[in-house]
């Protein structure tokens, strides 16, 4: 294990360290780092854990609160599932189902969703998913 991985393990919230075996880093963005992990009680499953560092003077970023609220309210086959949320004084951990690729990689590989493919994906569950988010007064940041 490298020093960087060792530091990451030490910084983990106890619940996250007890529940998950951290694996490789999947990506990093403005608000957090995403790491592939395996639940200790089901080592054949994989999850993606997004760690959002908290700035003490600002508290929890509004974008993180919106993401959590929106994902908890959605139930659609085309929207990633938020499985759990853990928090500590320095970070929030969002535990997601682990997918093969993100939206950017999907679009790069398969191209734009157009016409009937896009209509089919949004019409399958008209009462769920993204339409539901807009009805609740939210918007989507992609």
Residue ranges for the known binding site for ATP are 50
Is-contact 95 49, C-beta < 8 A?
A: yes
Q: Alpha carbon of 47 to those of 75, 89, 98, 104, 125: distances in Å?
A: 18, 23, 4, 19, 25
Asked if residues 94 and 67 have their Cβ atoms less than 8 Å apart, the reply is yes
Residue numbering of the annotated binding site: 50
């Amino acid at each position: 294990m490298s020093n960087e991985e060792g530091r990451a393990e030490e910084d983990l919230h106890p619940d996250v360290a007890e529940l998950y075996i951290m694996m490789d880093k999947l990506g990093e963005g403005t608000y957090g780092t995403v790491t592939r992990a395996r639940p200790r009680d089901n080592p054949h499953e994989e999850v993606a854990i997004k760690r959002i560092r908290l700035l003490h003077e600002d508290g929890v970023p509004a974008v993180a609160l919106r993401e959590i609220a929106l994902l908890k309210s959605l139930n659609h086959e085309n929207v990633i599932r938020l499985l759990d949320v853990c928090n500590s004084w320095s970070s929030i951990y969002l535990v997601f189902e682990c997918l093969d690729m993100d939206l950017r990689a999907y679009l790069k590989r398969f191209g734009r969703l157009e016409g009937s493919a896009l209509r089919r994906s949004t019409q399958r569950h008209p009462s769920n998913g993204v339409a539901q988010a807009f009805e609740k007064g939210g918007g989507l940041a992609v």
